[in-house]
Amino acid sequence: MLSRDEILKIAKLARMKLSADEIDTFAKQLNGILDFFAVLQKCDTTGFAPAAQSVKFPPNLRADRVAEFPAQSLLQSSPNEIHEKQIVVKNVFE
């Protein structure tokens, strides 16, 4: 069971300001979630292989290929500098 201090620490990590009522509500909700995981931990999973997904669908991937941008002339008319077909922009970080 999560204590009030633990709830406040979690809220701080999530950058949330909670009222007293919200602290109680979140405590009940988070403790309910943790209780559910405790039930799941008791399940016997011997004989089951670990899985990344529950339903086996083939990945929906497209071919990875290089293609020319159809509006290249629009990019080149940009006020920004173009270097080797790439737009040069100002540094974000100094």
Residue-wise DSSP of 1-54? ---HHHHHHHHHHTT----HHHHHHHHHHHHHHHHHHHHHHTS--TT----S-S
User: Are the C-beta atoms of residues 87 and 81 closer than 8 Å to each other?
Assistant: yes
pLDDT tens-digit series, residues 49-80: 888 777 777 777 888 888 887 777 776 677 77
Residue 90's pLDDT is what?
82
Q: Where are the domains of the chain?
A: 4-41
32 contact partners, CB below 8 Å, separation of at least 6 = none
Quote the mean pLDDT of the chain.
Answer: 86
Class of the CATH-defined domain 4-41: mainly alpha
Which pTM was predicted?
A: 0.50
